[in-house]
Amino acid sequence: MKKKMMAAVLTMAMAVAAMAGCGSNSASNDAATTEKAAADGKVYKVGIVQYVDDASLNQIEKAVEAELDAKAKELGVTFDYKDYTYNGQADSSTLNQIATDLVAEDVDVIIPIATPTAMIMQAATEENQIPVVFSAVSDPVTAGLVESMDKPGSNITGTSDALNTEAVMDLMFAANKDIKKVGLLYNKSQDSSTVPIQDAKDYLDKKGVEYVEKTGTTNDEISLAADALVAAGVDAVFTPTDNTVMTAELAIYEKFVEAGIPHYAGADSFALNGAFCGFGVNYVDLGTATADIVVDILVNGKDPATTAVQTMSNGIATVNTDVASQLGIDYSVFDGMCEKVVEIQTAEEFE
């Protein structure tokens, strides 16, 4: 009996030692864990939360989902996002409820699209530390989402669509060097608009060009603001990556066209919906990069706190050729001023 007991004790001791030996090589352990996850067909629950329906944000969501599907096939895992995808319709109460639901569903990661969504998801995960990987946040530092772009801190990181406002204004004055008055159209409650609007003011002040600010928080208010800019006799209008104006663009662009006023904005989706020119990042690339960060965190164990926020290349001018023709603008002057010029026609969504 004693021999049997001693043998059992020795067997347990050898097992413990073997387990300890495995833990001594963290790099090998991580690699083995990743391979095992792939072999076991592990399922990751991925929450995707969109701020509101608009062409840019829809484009990002589709790109995120397409990349997750591609990576799932490559790695032999499953990213279950279909059961956890929501749209807040620009309503903070709805977004807060979505956050509560995702936490209760114990998702493995949350992907908020746009700044207001990211802020609500961040607040909801402060205690549980569910990783948050945002997309299309123009200024994550000013919004208080991250400590710095290189080292976000806490459980959050993502991708930024920060706008090069000076480049947009350069295009504006290249197309018409005689501009005397510029309209600034935006939602003053959106953090994504704060910095670029100030940058636009600084740019115009240096040029000695007058500007008129009009703001709104709803489609109706944006429509009235557009009417006010037309009445003020502005020569051009600038809007940053502002989701409120984006959702209203299809309803207001004809006002500007009829008045002979080109609308310059911070994303290609504005041009798709009727603005003369959208300048900014490629949102398919942005969504793809966002999904890649998610995969790195879930599958490879990357720490969001030390994963740098990615800022995308920001030099594509998208011109609405229908509107350019009606306004009589020769946009060939844009050649050489940006990464490339893309021609587009008015539509509700990207194909």
Q: For residue 332, is pLDDT > 70?
A: yes
Could you give the percent of the chain with pLDDT greater than 90? 82
How far is residue 74 CA from its own chain's centroid? 25
Mean pLDDT of 111-137: 97
Mean pLDDT of 112-140: 96
What pLDDT shows up at residue 30? 52
Tell me which residue of 144, 110, 72, 137 sits closest to 304, measured CA to CA. 110
What pLDDT shows up at residue 38? 46
Angle CA 189–193–196, to nearest 5:
150
Mean pLDDT of 118-138: 97
- What's the pLDDT tens digit per position in 5-53? 333 333 433 343 344 443 434 444 554 444 444 446 899 999 999 999 9
Mean pLDDT of 334-344: 94
Distance CA 160, CA 146 (A): 12
Contact 133, 157 (CB under 8 A): yes
pTM of the model: 0.82
Distance CA 126, CA 43 (A): 24
Q: For residue 102, is pLDDT > 50?
A: yes
- What's the pLDDT tens digit per position in 243-260? 999 999 999 999 999 999
Give SS3 for 85. strand
- What's the pLDDT tens digit per position in 141-172? 989 999 999 999 999 999 999 999 999 999 99
Q: Which amino acid is present at 45?
A: K
What pLDDT shows up at residue 40? 62
Burial-class residue 226 by CB neighbours within 10 Å (0-12, 13-18, 19+): buried
Going by pLDDT thresholds of 50, 70 and 90, the confidence category of residue 86 is very high
Tell me which residue of 88, 85, 75 sits closest to 110, measured CA to CA. 85
Q: Which residue has the higher pLDDT, 16 or 186?
A: 186
What pLDDT shows up at residue 27? 45
Going by pLDDT thresholds of 50, 70 and 90, the confidence category of residue 99 is very high
- What's the pLDDT tens digit per position in 287-325? 999 999 999 999 999 999 999 999 988 789 999 999 999
Could you give the percent of the chain with pLDDT greater than 70? 89
Which domains, and CATH codes, for the chain?
42-161+283-311 (3.40.50.2300), 165-280+315-344 (3.40.50.2300)
What pLDDT shows up at residue 54? 86
What's the mean per-residue pLDDT of the chain?
Answer: 90
- What's the pLDDT tens digit per position in 204-238? 999 999 999 999 999 999 999 999 999 999 999 99
Burial-class residue 176 by CB neighbours within 10 Å (0-12, 13-18, 19+): middle
